[in-house]
């Protein structure tokens, strides 16, 4: 029987910590909690954590800096929690590598769906599809089994879980215009909201990692008023 997935909730509100710990434990997860960055680091150092739920509004420590540290030193899944209407916080958090975000006050069932969606496509969930099949494009090799991207020299290109998920959708639908709703549906199982820039942010990050000139992209093209098109020729093949 597989071990329960381990969530770490970081929030300075004891009521929120208690609520989420009870709720996610009841959904079959192992749940740890921390009230600040120091507690978060202690738990991550001593435990295998699959996903962190991080409140950006922690007192005394910048939530963006904690997000930056997580993406530098830890490669698990990350969902940020922001206050209602703080669209700038959401965009910056995604720029720093968060996989998704939720706003307070949140609906527990929606939060559970977001957590499951991110974990389902993460390495920790262990549910990715066909082993050995790889996608090759423009000198890059995307390996769905290992959730890795390598350049033409065989060097690993560091991708967050969200960036990998987006690239996977693009390479599976080459030369086809995909709207933001299409992409959000494939990745998170939901539609993009009217002010949701999550896809645009992730596209920008991907371009900086795979385009020769991110300002004039040749692989991920914008289609005005429609969405994005992956213009590379994609070959599917067997891995080693």
pLDDT at 2: 64
Signed CA dihedral, 207, 208, 210, 216: sign only: positive
For 34, phi then psi, to 5°, come to -145, 145
Residues sharing a CB contact under 8 Å with residue 28, sequence separation 6 or more, in sequence order: 4
Lowest-confidence range among 21-30, 82-91, 151-160? 82-91
127 pLDDT band, cuts 50/70/90, is: very low
Q: pLDDT averaged over the chain? A: 84
Residues 6-125, CATH architecture: 3-Layer(aba) Sandwich (3.40)
Confidence of residue 124 (pLDDT cuts 50, 70, 90): very low
Query: Each residue of 65-84: pLDDT tens digit?
Result: 888 888 878 878 899 888 75
Dist. CA 94–CA 100, nearest whole Å: 7
Structure tokens at 133: 């099949």
Instruction: Tell me the C-alpha distance between 216 and 40, whole Å.
Output: 40
Helix (H) or strand (E) holding 43: helix 37-46
Question: Taking residues 142-164, what's their average pLDDT?
Answer: 87
> Residue 13 corresponds to which tokens in the numbers above?
């509100």
Q: Rounded mean pLDDT of 37-66?
A: 88
Q: Is 102 within 8 Å of 196 (Cβ atoms)?
A: no
Domain boundaries, the chain: 6-125, 133-238
Domains 6-125 and 133-238 share a fold: no
User: In this structure, what token pair is assigned to residue 47?
Assistant: 């435990």
For 155-172, give one letter per residue: b (16+ CB within 10 A) or e.
eebebbbbbbbbbbbbbe
pTM above 0.85, yes or no: no
More confident residue, 50 or 147: 50
- Of all residues in the chain, the percent with pLDDT exceeding 90 is 43
Question: Per-residue pLDDT tens for 193-232?
Answer: 544 577 888 899 999 999 999 999 999 999 998 999 999 9
* Non-local CB neighbours of 88 within 8 Å, separated by 6+ positions: none
The pLDDT of residue 111 is above 70: yes
190: confidence class by pLDDT, cuts 50, 70, 90 = low
pLDDT band of residue 32 (cuts 50, 70, 90) is very high
d(CA 111, CA 19): 12
At the top level of CATH, the class of 133-238 is: mainly alpha
Which residues partner with 7 through β-bridges? 31, 51
Percentage of the residues of the chain whose pLDDT score is greater than 70: 86
pLDDT of residue 195: 47
pLDDT at 178 over 60: yes
Residue 30 pLDDT: 95
The radius of gyration of the chain's CA atoms, rounded to the nearest angstrom, is 18
Q: What is the pLDDT of residue 129?
A: 44
Which ranges constitute the DSSP H helices of 107-179?
108-120, 161-172
Which residue, among 72, 75, 79, 66, has the nearest Cα to 20 in the 3D structure? Answer: 79
pLDDT at 156 over 50: yes
């Amino acid at each position: 029987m597989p071990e329960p997935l381990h969530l770490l909730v970081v929030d300075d509100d004891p009521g929120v910590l208690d609520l989420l710990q009870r709720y996610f434990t009841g959904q079959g997860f192992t749940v740890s909690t921390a009230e600040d960055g120091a507690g978060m680091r202690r738990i991550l150092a001593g435990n295998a954590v699959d996903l962190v739920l991080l409140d950006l509004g922690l007192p005394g420590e910048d939530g963006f800096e904690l997000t930056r540290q997580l993406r530098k030193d830890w490669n698990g899944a990350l969902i940020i929690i922001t206050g209602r209407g703080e669209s700038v916080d959401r965009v910056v958090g995604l720029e720093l590598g968060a996989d998704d975000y939720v706003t307070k006050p949140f609906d527990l069932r929606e939060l559970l769906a977001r957590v499951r969606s991110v974990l389902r496509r993460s390495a920790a969930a262990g549910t990715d599809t066909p082993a050995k099949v790889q996608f090759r494009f423009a000198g890059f090799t995307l390996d769905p089994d290992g959730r890795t991207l390598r350049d033409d020299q065989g060097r690993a290109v560091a991708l967050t879980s969200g960036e990998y998920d987006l690239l996977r959708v693009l390479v599976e639908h080459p030369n086809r215009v995909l709207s933001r709703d299409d992409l959000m549906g494939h990745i998170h199982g939901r539609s993009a909201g009217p002010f949701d820039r999550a896809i645009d942010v992730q596209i920008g990050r991907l371009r900086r990692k795979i385009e020769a000139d991110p300002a004039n992209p040749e692989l991920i093209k914008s289609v005005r008023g429609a969405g994005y098109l992956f213009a590379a020729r994609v070959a599917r093949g067997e891995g080693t």
